[in-house]
Structure 1
Amino acid sequence: MTELDDALRLEQSGTGWTGRLSDDWAIGEAINGGLLMSLATTATARSSEAAGGHRDPLSFSAVFLSPGTAGPVQIEPRILRSGRSMTTAEVVVSQPVDGRDVERFRALITLGDLEKYAEPVLRTVAAPDIPPPDKCLSAQDAPPSTLTKSGFLKRFDARMDPATVGWAVGEPSGQGEMRGWLQLADGAQIDAVGLLLALDAFPPVSFDLGSVGWVPTVEFTGYVRGIPAPGWLQLRLHTEHVAGGLLNEDCQIWDSTGRLVAHSRQLASARFPTPSVE
């Protein structure tokens, strides 16, 4: 069993599923949202099977209400419609806190058969030209910090394009873009469900704009467009609008063949240094 398989392990409980979140997938004190999305999708796909539905995520749209923490987690999917080509469900993820259930997020998920939608490709986005993984900088090269010591980053082999890592040494470019490569540290291949995790695996693009501290997700919408071929995933994150402490962050993922396999947009809250007044 891979590390990700273990993190996504579930047991049926009443009308839903139970799992356990580990600090191994935390950034600071919060469990990465991408892991929660993959966990919710896994539970929904298993519930969908019982309804004669589908397994592959096509779309995922969630509103995040509170950060997940290490400990037991409850996932309650509700199948809204199961047709011949797609299954749509609502899912609620919660955790017990001081004797009451605290909702972490609520999402709408559409499941289907990705192979059915793989071809023909009529229009797509090409991956940017960046240095190969062995010419990029890994997290191991970054200066020690709370971020680099997180359990979550140890689960991945992430390589950043040197042109987009000035923020790590206190020199953000101000372009609002990050590029690089990603694979699981244990060598396991990332599947369609794992792409939801990968969409939220890189540092926030707001770091390249001088943001400081935690950058919580308010809302996330992701699309999976194909089952990734084995090998490195290539990621590009960028933002086109930042105002009032909120920003839109777009992420695109290509597999080792150069095919776009996932993309997303999230609304996130970020803190920026207050300009000094002379």
Structure 2
Amino acid sequence: MPEASPLQAVRASIGDSEFDRDTAVTLREPGVYDIDLSAGWTIISAVNGGYLLAVLGRALSDALPHADPFTISAHYLTASQPGPAVIRTDIVRTGRTLSTGQASLFQYDEEGREVERIRVLASYGDLDTLPDDVRTTARPPALPPMDQCFGPEDGPAPVPGSSAITDRLMLKLDPETLGWALGAPSGKGEMRSWFGLADGRDPDPLSLLLAVDALPPTAFELGLSGWVPTVELTVHVRSRPAPGPLRVSITTRNLAGGFLEEDAEVWDSADRLVAQSRQLARVRLG
């Protein structure tokens, strides 16, 4: 088991937390859902991509006969803003162990025209039916205890604009990946952190969709600053996470042509790899 300082006493439970309320969708008609995107999950000037993925993931969980996301791929088409949105889902295929669906989130621009913000394709199943056999060379990240790591409250905001999302998260970043905060980025393209929700809610498959995209971007440790918008994000949920804090490790090996990849691993308190992701993001150079 990993060494860690205990989280604050649990105040919220799965199904009754700020994350659950802010990702809740309302069925308008079969396959169509309404939601009011919360400003509480914004960073700089846009709604966080992991929060958006969890919103669409929840809609698909309701629309499909299986509840748990196994793999979900999202293309971010335009920046989402807090406020009303509509999600349209479509069932592509249903099977005994896996069901596949797609979903798109739409908002209206200033002229009242409907604009697609994000489109996803996903396969869902039942994580509780998976066999226990695990054969892996992966190892959990070596993180210092939580009381030796640092959170957003320990320093100034890294970029100008909204940082509302940080008030809803428990982030404790590995000091070895915090050179950017001291004006001395390592150049390694790594970010590691303890992760949880600030109200103490335990993780579940939908919150894993948030976890893979909630840390500061690895671009900061490459010496870059500013918004790093996601172009595409694919998440594989491998297991239902155990209660307690998660550990998230993100690496970038290649920045070229103004784009970089971020490979994330999420580990639970039982030392299991519960989620993996890769995203392509755009950076502003110069």
TM-score, normalised by the number of residues in structure 1: 0.93
SS across alignment from 1:34: helix
Indicate the residue corresponding to 2:7 in structure 1: none
1:32 and 2:48 equivalent? yes
1:270 and 2:283 equivalent? yes
SS across alignment from 2:129: helix
Task: Determine what percentage of the aligned residue pairs are the same residue.
Answer: 42
Deviations 1:44-70 (A, max 9, x none): 11111xxxx200000011111011101
Deviations 1:225-244 (A, max 9, x none): 01111111001010111111
1:272 Cα offset (Å): 3.0
SS across alignment from 1:75: strand
Indicate the residue corresponding to 2:258 in structure 1: 245
Decide whether the 8 Å contact of 2:249 with 2:264 is kept in 1: yes
CA, structure 1 residues 161+148, in 2 after alignment: closer, same or farther (shift >3 Å)?
farther
1:172 and 2:188 equivalent? no
1:75 Cα offset (Å): 0.8
Gap regions ≥5 residues in structure 2: 1-15
SS across alignment from 2:206: helix
Tell me the matched-pair count.
269
Deviations 1:9-66 (A, max 9, x none): 1111134100011111100220001111111011111111xxxx20000001111101
Indicate the residue corresponding to 1:259 in structure 2: 272
Q: For 2:161 and 2:193, how far apart are their aligned partners in 1?
A: 16
Gap regions ≥5 residues in structure 1: 274-278
- The counterpart of 1:21, out of the listed 27, 37, 41, is 37
Decide whether the 8 Å contact of 2:42 with 2:162 is kept in 1: no
TM-score, normalised by the number of residues in structure 2: 0.91
SS across alignment from 1:163: helix
- CA RMSD, Structure 1 to Structure 2 (Å): 1.3
CA, structure 1 residues 118+208, in 2 after alignment: closer, same or farther (shift >3 Å)?
farther
Q: What amino acid does structure 1 have at the position aligned with 2:18?
A: E
Q: What amino acid does structure 2 have at the position aligned with 1:137?
A: F
Decide whether the 8 Å contact of 1:139 with 1:157 is kept in 2: no
Give the 5 Å matches for 1:1-278: 1-14=16-29, 15-48=31-64, 53-97=65-109, 98-146=111-159, 150-273=163-286
Decide whether the 8 Å contact of 1:143 with 1:169 is kept in 2: no
1:117 Cα offset (Å): 2.3
Q: Which runs of 4+ in 1 moved over 2 A?
A: 143-149
